[in-house]
Amino acid sequence: MAAKETVYVISDSVGETAEFVVKAVATQFNGGNIAIRRSSYVEDTEDLEDAIMMAKQGNSIIAYTLVVPALKEYLDRRTKEEGITAIDLLSPLMDAFIKKFNKEPEHRPGLMRRLDDDYFRKVDAIEFAVKYDDGRDPRGVEKADIVLIGVSRTSKTPLSMYLAHHRYKVANVPLVPEVAPPDEIFSIQRGKCVGLIITPDKLNEIRKERLKALGLTSHANYASFERILEELDYAEKIMKRVGCPIINVSNKAVEETASLILDVLKIERSSTR
């Protein structure tokens, strides 16, 4: 049985991009029956020499993604001296970016991996916000980066999702006079919880609109001033017991409130150090 043709993939990062491209090309030749040998996180010329010698012995191709100029220049020179075919997978597109957008690349390896990690942290935070929304599971209070407490219609859920898109794991807990809040919020770490309040007039307006959207009468107890004042008074007592900073969300956009939340928590955390 004939030995497989081999392509050496060299990268100053993981090398996944180069390997994917090589595999895509290889499928066009004999169904992709080719061996790939990856040299990842190449940091110096010694690492390059190892891969160059192996490629020379096997009469193989080198495909590489090197963003550090010194490593690229060394590899180009040495492969030319050794008569090895070396394919630069990044430079053509990199050069096009430079010419078209008139910007210089950072020449730092691993940036794609950092972007991937950032993306997955965001996904985790969004899933967390959904799982621990509206006090669904009090265990989220202990796991969260930020905990929001307040009466219904103080933007707890929109704020949780907005902050999740900024990679914060947020749990929110509704405060209702008839339902005791979870014990976890009273032992919460300082600098982690924020109470959300709103003026009675604004809450009345919002709740009436909510009832209208649901096809219900605006005279329901949910939107009555007496009920709203009762809830706000109860929520204030809980927030004082928790000892958390309080933000009034009346007439504030979600983005503005989120910024205030991060600011006050930063102050709270710094005061405990």
Angle between helices 225-242 and 200-213 (to 10 degrees): 120
Q: Is 157 annotated as a binding residue?
A: yes
Residues of the chain by 3-state class (helix, strand, coil), percent to 5: 55, 15, 30
* β partners of residue 6: 35
Task: Round to whole Å and give the CA distance between 262 and 187.
Answer: 20
Cβ-based burial of 234 (10 A; exposed 0-12, middle 13-18, buried ≥19): middle
Q: Is 110 annotated as a binding residue?
A: no
Q: Is 155 annotated as a binding residue?
A: yes
Q: Is 156 annotated as a binding residue?
A: yes
Q: Phi first, then psi: what are they for 150, rounded to 5°?
A: 170, 170
Task: Round to whole Å and give the CA distance between 7 and 226.
Answer: 76
| Cβ atoms of 163 and 128 closer than 8 Å | no
Residue 32: how many CB atoms within 10 A of its CB?
13
The helix (run of H) or strand (run of E) holding residue 110 is none
What Cα–Cα distance (Å) separates residue 202 from each residue in 97, 171, 223, 229, 230?
51, 24, 11, 12, 15
Q: Is 150 annotated as a binding residue?
A: yes
Task: Round to whole Å and give the CA distance between 13 and 113.
Answer: 8
Q: Is 151 annotated as a binding residue?
A: yes
Binding-site residue positions: 150-157
Q: Which residues are annotated as a binding site for ADP?
A: 150-157
